[in-house]
Amino acid sequence: MVAKSKPVEKLTEDEARSELDRLAEEIAEHDRRYHGEDAPAISDAAYDALRKRNGAIEERFPKLVLADSPSRRVGAPVSEKFEKVRHALPMLSLDNAFSDADVRDFAARVRRFLKMEVDAELALTAEPKIDGLSLSLRYEKGRLVTAATRGDGRVGENVTVNSRTIDTIPVELTGEVPDIVEVRGEVYMRHEDFAALNERQAEAGKTVFANPRNAAAGSLRQLDSSITASRPLAFFAYAWGELSERPHDTQSGMVTWLQSIGFSTNPLMERFLDLDDLIAHYHWIEENRATLGYDIDGVVYKVDDLHLQERLGFVSRSPRWAIAHKFPAEKAVTELLAIDIQVGRTGAHTPVARLKPVTVGGVVVTNATLHNPDEIERLGVQIGDTVQVQRAGDVIPQILGVVDEKRPSTAEPYAFPSHCVCDLQTPLVRETTAGGVEGVVRRCTGEFACPYQRREHLKHLVGRKGFDIDGLGDKQIDWFYEHEDENLRIREPADIFTLQKRQADSAALTKLKNFDGWGETSVRNLFDAIEARRTVPLDRVIFSLGIRHVGETTSRTLARAYSSWKSFEQAAERLATGDEAAKAEMEALDDIGGAVTEAVARYFSEDKNCAMVDRLIEELTVEEAEAPAASDSPVAGQTIVFTGSLERMSRDEAKAMAERLGAKAAGSVSKKTDLVVAGPGAGSKLKKAEEFGIEVISEDEWFERVGQGA
């Protein structure tokens, strides 16, 4: 141990190392006493001296600076932008329930999936859904090493330095903890802190925040961490990611543990065995929400038993074992100024109400969706009317109805256009379903010929789930799309990737950097971001094409099944020529049905689309999709069909289990099937399996094979 008084310039490297360790711990302890317990143990001057000594040693031995050094807790150097961090386990979202009945359905669904009796005991936890932004904190050997935002759930932003400035985020965990602990929760701002912050902002002539959540997000995502440090942020822990060891077997046990290692957890979390009690707790929280001092937007229910959570698993991005019961939307009354038409990526013409600005639940609302012409008719709304609007969470506000007695004599009925609002004026059509039922949406069939649709396609393509190009958002696409100069115009996907080349040949006047809003650095950043995306995973390419019914999950399924662009394209082209085998093959994939194959066929039967796609692919290096989880389970890579009645698990659980083990669960038996698991009553599928000579096993044998016998 080095005497505290040894002058910094006399310390050896080893001494400096242990001294920095000791100082970090000591300063953290004082911080905890000062901020957490409001009971400082030393004078401010003594505290400052500790920090000063820490800083002096770091200056002499820069390479010894600890990741969690006290000097990094505030005012660390400004970085250009946040680094990306891949989450060890994805950060999920939650499915929503909007009524008590939805909650009962959820419980019934859980029981059904687990093959439990309808009245079997099922413990659920209930806790407020905090309206902030989620954060994942990674601790190694008890020390905070990374803090990352949710991002797209797989990759988030590294906000470690900023997170260290939040008092309720411990830099070091308390007590004996597993080597790797990832804690997840919500960063939020209390109402009184939010009000005070906005007051300070207004006084300083800076922007005021619309609501506490925006303020929290804006404060955490600051490039200068001293700004974050000056903002009153707080953190509630409610979940976890990777753990090298899991100390408890229940949700409630884990939350209590999170508290014991130094986190704030929400005091309103409770465990229930009775659904009526759980729902009563929801209504109690709803009635008292205004007194909590922070925003919540619902109550989250989770299956308490973690073994059951594991069996339940996930659908797409949401766990089957949890649901968010949202509070009803907030309402207000205002005036309808006009109705505009918005043309979407699929040509849908959506009427949008322009409203006199009104505050609904703390947010200023100026637009509301009217969905379609039938909705305008149903509401009987006219321009100039006073209308009731409602806003629920992040959803676009809606118009609930007209206040009839306030209709002015000047009110004007609205006539919905019969032709596309673009220059081509293509007639709008109403789609009919297979059963001949007329749809409500009016669509322009112009597709890529329609400038509005092309533009929306481009926005979709560069969006977060598509190519995710930094600095190329909706605003920029509009700008490039409309640009007069050919060398600056982006009218189709490939144009994005030829932009830099076209720019290089361009005269000085039409160089991007010479336009308003652009500069040397932002242009370089944009080109770098585009270049970075030239190599892109197959599922993102498929998603980005904007084929109807081909969303994120379907794109991933297709990418995994066809693995390379070439084989996907071949399948799509065969589909387009009406090849039945190609159709059957694609429809045998999980969750893919006629709507998808039809849409893919339609897309690829348009020569213009094919040419456009070819031009795009020419610019790219498409990464092959990962083969289904290279797990070392005995069924990894196999295609399995479950048939007959299963006794130990539901059909859905069986499918989910196979997928977890790296296998594919198919709906029908074909020559590609590797294994059939047959329960009592299996019929035609079993027969087919026998014909093809495919191995057939019982449900019990299945459990033995995958090593979950007992």
Q: Active-site positions?
A: 129
Q: Which is nearer to ligand IVH, 268 or 332 (CB)?
A: 268
H or E, element range at 277: helix 275-288
Q: Which is nearer to ligand IVH, 162 or 266 (CB)?
A: 266
CB 197 within 8 A of CB 189: yes
The position carrying tokens 């709008």 is 428
Provide CB contacts within 8 A for 257, sequence distance 6+: 247, 248
Q: Rounded to the nearest whole angstrom, what is the least distance from the CB of residue 710 to ligand IVH in the complex?
A: 28
Q: Which is nearer to ligand IVH, 69 or 162 (CB)?
A: 162
The tokens for 137 are: 């904190």
CB 382 within 8 A of CB 413: yes
CA distance 619 to 624: 16
Q: Rounded to the nearest whole angstrom, what is the least distance from the CB of residue 302 to ligand IVH in the complex?
A: 7
The tokens for 33 are: 């006493």
- The CA angle 194-199-201, to the nearest 5 degrees, is 95
Give the interface with ligand IVH as residue ranges (CB under 6 A). 92-94, 127, 129-130, 134, 150, 186, 238-239, 300, 319, 322, 324
Secondary structure of residue 252 in the 3-state scheme: helix
Q: Rounded to the nearest whole angstrom, what is the least distance from the CB of residue 147 to ligand IVH in the complex?
A: 14
CA distance 665 to 658: 6
The tokens for 369 are: 């969706």
State the CB neighbour count (10 A cutoff) for residue 501. 11
Position 467, amino acid: F
CA distance 292 to 659: 42
CA distance 94 to 438: 33
The position carrying tokens 């060890």 is 88
**Cross-strand partners of 335:** 386
Position 456, amino acid: E
Pairing of strands 438-444, 428-432: antiparallel
Q: What is the DSSP letter of 305?
A: B
Q: Which is nearer to ligand IVH, 143 or 150 (CB)?
A: 150
Is residue 183 exposed (0-12), middle (13-18) or buried (19+ Cβ within 10 Å)?
buried
Secondary structure of residue 150 in the 3-state scheme: coil
Strands (E), 244-348: 270-272, 296-303, 314-315, 318-319, 322-326, 330-343
The tokens for 519 are: 């500069």
Q: Which is nearer to ligand IVH, 240 or 452 (CB)?
A: 240
Q: Which is nearer to ligand IVH, 271 or 548 (CB)?
A: 271
Question: How many residues are recorded in the chain?
Answer: 710
Q: Rounded to the nearest whole angstrom, what is the least distance from the CB of residue 133 to ligand IVH in the complex?
A: 7
Pairing of strands 322-326, 96-97: parallel
Position 605, amino acid: S
- The closest of 201, 164, 203, 208 to 68, measured between CA atoms, is 164
**Cross-strand partners of 644:** none
CA distance 683 to 695: 15
Q: Rounded to the nearest whole angstrom, what is the least distance from the CB of residue 111 to ligand IVH in the complex?
A: 20
Is residue 615 exposed (0-12), middle (13-18) or buried (19+ Cβ within 10 Å)?
middle
Q: Which is nearer to ligand IVH, 326 or 371 (CB)?
A: 326
- The CA angle 584-587-589, to the nearest 5 degrees, is 120
Q: Which residue is nearest to ligand IVH (CB)?
A: 134
Q: Which is nearer to ligand IVH, 312 or 561 (CB)?
A: 312
CB 509 within 8 A of CB 491: no
CB 282 within 8 A of CB 325: yes
CB 689 within 8 A of CB 696: yes
Position 637, amino acid: G
Q: Which is nearer to ligand IVH, 161 or 296 (CB)?
A: 296
Q: Which is nearer to ligand IVH, 69 or 136 (CB)?
A: 136
State the CB neighbour count (10 A cutoff) for residue 456. 21
H or E, element range at 127: strand 124-130
Q: Rounded to the nearest whole angstrom, what is the least distance from the CB of residue 462 to ligand IVH in the complex?
A: 24
Position 190, amino acid: R
Q: Rounded to the nearest whole angstrom, what is the least distance from the CB of residue 129 to ligand IVH in the complex?
A: 4
CA distance 142 to 174: 8
Q: Which is nearer to ligand IVH, 299 or 348 (CB)?
A: 299
CA distance 614 to 163: 45
Q: Which is nearer to ligand IVH, 289 or 489 (CB)?
A: 289
CA distance 506 to 491: 18
Q: Rounded to the nearest whole angstrom, what is the least distance from the CB of residue 553 to ligand IVH in the complex?
A: 17
The tokens for 403 are: 């206040």
- The closest of 323, 328, 296, 393 to 125, measured between CA atoms, is 323
Q: Which is nearer to ligand IVH, 130 or 625 (CB)?
A: 130
